[in-house]
């Protein structure tokens, strides 16, 4: 378990804990940080805190980093139509009828199952059920799905989707 430590300066007082942590480092997505906070891995002045906690000048924040649990989603050798790929991301043409990530009634044959076979290092990026997935398309919708290969790419792409840059 790793540990990150922060002290709140006057410029950051009144920020929410989750927003402060998101802005103070580039390694983890805000959703991953929220999960760590909810699981009690974020301490403010040595006490567990909620994501909505408003910071005060001088607060000491400790974030304990635990590895994400191992995905129970299995890799499957399903052909993918890859439109673009580099070290940090790939763009896949998802056909209509394919589910993006496993869900009740759709545990196999998903885009995530195929991606885990194609990219062995995706497990845990974006969550164990949706490794690498930045956004999704409905089962009956065809189109391009962007997939992050690391946490920084995931966070960057998610932020660009949120701000409608993509």
Instruction: Indicate if the pLDDT at residue 126 is higher than 70.
Output: no
Residues forming the active site = 138
Rounded average pLDDT over 121-125: 67
Strands 60-65, 2-7: pairing kind: antiparallel
pLDDT for 127 equals 64
Q: For the full predicted model, state whether its pTM sits above 0.85.
A: no
Burial of 35 (0-12, 13-18, 19+ CB in 10 A): middle
Instruction: Indicate if the pLDDT at residue 37 is higher than 60.
Output: yes
Domain 82-162 class in CATH? alpha beta
Instruction: Indicate if the pLDDT at residue 87 is higher than 60.
Output: yes
CATH dotted code for 2-65: 3.10.290.10
Q: What are the residue ranges spanned by the domains of the chain?
A: 2-65, 82-162
Q: Give the helix/strand (H/E) hosting 19.
A: helix 17-24
């Amino acid at each position: 378990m790793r540990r990150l430590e922060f002290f709140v300066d006057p410029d950051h007082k009144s920020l929410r804990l989750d927003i402060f942590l998101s802005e103070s480092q580039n390694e983890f997505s805000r959703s991953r940080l929220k999960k760590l906070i909810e699981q009690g891995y974020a301490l403010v002045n040595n006490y567990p805190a909620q994501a909505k906690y408003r910071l005060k000048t001088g607060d000491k924040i400790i974030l304990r980093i635990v590895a994400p649990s191992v995905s129970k989603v299995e890799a499957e050798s399903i052909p993918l139509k890859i439109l673009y790929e580099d070290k940090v991301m790939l763009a896949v043409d998802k056909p209509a009828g394919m589910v993006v990530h496993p869900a009740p009634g759709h545990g196999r044959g998903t885009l995530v199952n195929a991606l885990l076979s194609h990219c062995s290092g995706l497990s845990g990026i974006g969550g164990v059920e949706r490794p690498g997935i930045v956004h999704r398309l409905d089962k009956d919708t065809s189109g391009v799905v962007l997939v992050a290969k690391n946490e920084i790419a995931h966070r960057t792409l998610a932020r660009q989707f949120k701000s409608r840059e993509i």
